[in-house]
Amino acid sequence: MIGSTSEWKYMFKFSILLIFCSFSALSQKLDQKSMLEKLALMPADTQKVNMLFEVLGAIDDREHRLELAEQAYYISASLNYLWGQAKSSYHIGECLNKTRNFANSFKNLEVAQTLAEEIADTKLISDVLFAYGENMNDLDNLDSAMYYYVQSLTLADSMEYSYRAAEAHYGISSIANSLGNNVLAMQHILKAKKYYEELGTNQNAWHIWNLLGIIYDELSDQSKAFEYYYRALEVAKRSTDTNAEIIVSNNLAILYELIGKSAEAKELYWSAIEKAHVLGLDEDEAYLLGNIGCIFLEEKDTIRAQAVLMRSLTLTKKAGRGCDLAYPYEGMAELYGIKKEYDSASWYYDQAILLAKRCQNHMLVASALRHLGEIQIETHAVSKGLKHLKESLALCERFQLIEERVKSNFSLYKIYKKVGDLGTALRYFEAYQRSRDLLLSDQERSEVSKVTANYEFEKKLHLLAFKEKAENLALRARLDKQVSNTNNLYLILALILILGISLGRSYYLMQRHNQKLVQINEEKNTLMGMVAHDLRSPLNNIKGVMSLVNLDHVSSQEQRNYTRMLNDSVDNMRDMIDRVMDMSAVEDMKINLDMTPCDVATLVNKVADNYEYVASKKNIVIHKNYDDQVYQALIDSKYTMQVFDNLMSNAIKYSDRDTNIYLSLERTDRTVIVRLRDEGQGITEEDQELLFTKYQQLSARPTGNEESIGLGLSIVKKFVDAMGATIQCESVIGEGSTFIVSFRTA
């Protein structure tokens, strides 16, 4: 089994190193637009170069930063301005790092270092060395990354360059944590925290609290880990870093999973997955999918597990981060283990171990070795299995991997007990108990509960305070209104007395005028309600198709089909909004038709395709019982689509699971007839008399708790009548309903 708590968390600790906040407190806020306008008018001199660097420090857009840095370099080169060349080369190298163009990034950083050394700019040399470390870290060369971070820190300390020292301390701490040296990691993260506090940027330093949470988690102090993760999450929500909240949510979800709260963990994972997908953060989405895949594996939900793990594997390969492939490999290995396909499981474990060893990911090596050993024991390769389990345990003891050590000791205890070596079994059981006691004592569990409860309680307090404030404001408004009404009472009475005679004379005319206004207002509200009701169906379609595109491992053809379905739904919504904006429809209650010959079968096919996913959620199958001939009718295609949309939506809404919906077409000399039959609840005779009346809540109720406001069939009736068509319903209680729409042939 994959250790689905801390193992997947380590994936983020590699990516965390890429994310250093651009703290606004370190540089003056610039009016970028006016600054860029000023730059365009400046001559190409050193002053313009310096101004370009100021703008570079104030913007976050990667492409814009690269463009400005290149502009600064060309101007500096033409002027032989060495400092400008060095500084711009550094910025170019830094920007290229973000696009993973490491070869050109290194070339520009080498130019920057050479020129910075020539002009003896120690501060710039420190920046360049740190950028070297970033590149090495992204290439999974952790030893080299550590070397450059230390060199950058040494120079930064020598000249009291606090900002660079803070980032270097953080970088060293992150790598030390990744290598299992949490003592060194704690030393450097606390120094980084102190620097950020002195610089006044502590309120934005979410990554500091996040790394402290990781370290305390690995030191088995879960209450402290929760405390720092919650603090990190609050700061991350206000951060300009796009994936700050995603990273912290991931680690917090892992901790919830560790203490057995998988529901809370899954809620955090899905929320973070949605954010990562919307922002196009493929690496983060891959990590999160792998993590939630582990929960599905523990729940033995192999179908969902395989779907998310394959998606994670695809995204990780696309991102080109070789080390991180070890995680989906281990996930796939466990999946095949559950399926008893041990050869495939062993292959994936071997691949995960090779990658994890190369990348010095000791936690994953220990986990994969333990799982591989358990499979070998299961397949009667006992000596190999014991060898791998003992390797895993030795690695855990060397790097203080407490959670994994608990699992390895327990696995060895079970195996020796099974083979009858009770003395050795007892020794491993005692070691298991000692390791388990290190994880979470009763007192610590109480602290964890207290921390999580306090966090939820504070959220409720904020909500209650907001509600109380709103109620107080409303009460004050009512009191003010009452006082105002009292003060104006006599004035109002006087006005009524004066105007009474005049109002009496014009009463009849005013009554007629008011009735007309009421009618117009009701008609306007009716049309608005109709379109608002219709907007629900395309929105539901969009939501359903997006969930498929987001999470499923689908082919390019399927993606094109889903994209077409999304476009159709968006077009439907746009057409509805166009009709709302047509004021003649509101004032005269007339529908503006565009009656043209059209193939009704094409529209029926489109509606069936659009609702296929929605129906599948209730395991409802849509059948098309008609041939491929053309069923030409004189209709308005947009309003006809709305008719079919409403009928199909109702058929699904009022049908039970595991039923069918049948669509059929018939052509006569004068009509094209469309029949939509479901196997739902049926409609009583009393309800059939009210079927096409607005705002009628009938006795039948949606079977999946869907909402119904009683407008749908009144909309259908209005559109059908406007096109000169007819609609009728045939229904039997308990057997279903058939709606029959007849259009005039073209």
* Mean pLDDT value across residues 108-125: 92
Query: Highest-confidence range of 392-401, 510-519, 665-674, by mean pLDDT?
Result: 665-674
Q: Is 12 exposed, middle or buried (0-12, 13-18, 19+ CB in 10 A)?
A: buried
pLDDT at 18 over 50: no
pLDDT at 33 > cutoff 80? no
699-727 b/e with 16+ CB inside 10 Å = b?
A: ebeebeeeebeebbbbbbbbbbeebebeb
671 versus 484: the higher-pLDDT residue is 671
Structure tokens at 724: 């000169």
Higher pLDDT, 647 or 702: 647
pLDDT in tens, 209-252: 899 899 888 887 888 888 888 888 888 888 777 788 898 999 98
CA distances to 159, 178, 317, 488, 495 from 503, rounded to whole Å, are 87, 85, 80, 21, 11
Say what the pLDDT of residue 672 is.
97
Give the least confident one: 172-186, 499-513, 527-541.
Answer: 527-541
How high is the pLDDT of residue 7?
Answer: 33
The pLDDT assigned to 667 comes to: 94
How confident is the model at residue 29, as a pLDDT? 42
Tokens of 28: 């003056």
Which pair of tokens denotes residue 213? 């949470």
- Residue 555: per-residue pLDDT: 66
Whether residue 290 contacts residue 312, with contact meaning beta carbons closer than 8 Å, is answered with yes
The pLDDT of residue 9 is 42
Q: Cβ(197)–Cβ(185) under 8 Å? A: no
Burial annotation 492-511 (CB, 10 A radius, 16+ → b, else e): eeeeeeeeeeeeeeeeeeee
Are 182 and 400 within 8 A, CB to CB? yes
Beta-carbon-side half-sphere exposure of residue 232 (alpha carbons within 13 Å): 27
pLDDT at 694 (0 to 100): 66
Measure the CA–CA gap between 664 and 647, rounded to whole angstroms: 13
Euclidean distance between CA atoms 150 and 173, whole angstroms: 11
Residue of 406, 410, 339, 401 lying closest to 374 (CA atoms): 410
Tell me the HSE value of 184 on the side-chain side, using a 13 A CA sphere.
15
With bands split at pLDDT 50, 70 and 90, how would you rate the model's confidence at 551?
low
**Going by DSSP bridges, is the β-strand pair 660-667/671-678 parallel, antiparallel, or unpaired?**
antiparallel
Q: Which residue has the higher pLDDT, 389 or 17?
A: 389
pLDDT above 50 for 538: yes
Binned at pLDDT 50, 70 and 90, residue 15 comes out as very low
> 585 vs 239, 379, 588, 635, CA distance in Å?
47, 75, 6, 18
Q: What is the mean pLDDT of residues 535-564?
A: 64
| Site of tokens 């994209």 | 563
Average pLDDT along the chain: 79
* Phi, then psi, of 20 in degrees rounded to 5: -115, 130
pLDDT band of 149, cuts 50, 70, 90: very high
Tens digits of per-residue pLDDT, 609-630? Answer: 989 988 999 999 999 999 989 9
Q: What confidence category does residue 28 fall into, taking pLDDT thresholds of 50, 70 and 90?
A: very low
pLDDT value at position 221? 84
Of residues 317 and 538, more confidently modeled: 317
78 pLDDT above the threshold of 70: yes
pLDDT, mean of residues 569-581: 58
Instruction: Note the pLDDT tens digit of each residue in 677-725.
Output: 999 999 998 888 888 876 566 666 777 666 554 457 888 898 999 999 9
8-state DSSP, 22 = -
Say if residues 311 and 553 touch (Cβ distance below 8 Å): yes
682: region left, alpha or beta (phi > 0 left; psi from -120 to 50 alpha): left
Residue in the structure block whose two tokens are 């389990």: 389
Backbone dihedral angles phi then psi of residue 100, each to the nearest 5 degrees: 65, 25
Backbone phi, psi, residue 557, to 5°: -65, -45
Nearest CA to 652 among 674, 624, 675, 680? Answer: 680
> Residue 69 CA to chain centroid, in angstroms?
33
- What percentage of the chain exceeds 70 in pLDDT? 73
SS (H, E, C) 656-723: CCCCEEEEEEEECCCEEEEEEEECCCCCCHHHHHCCCCCCCCCCCCCCCCCCCCCCHHHHHHHHHHHC
pLDDT-derived band of residue 313, with 50, 70 and 90 as boundaries? Answer: confident
The whole-angstrom separation of Cα 26 and Cα 19 is: 17
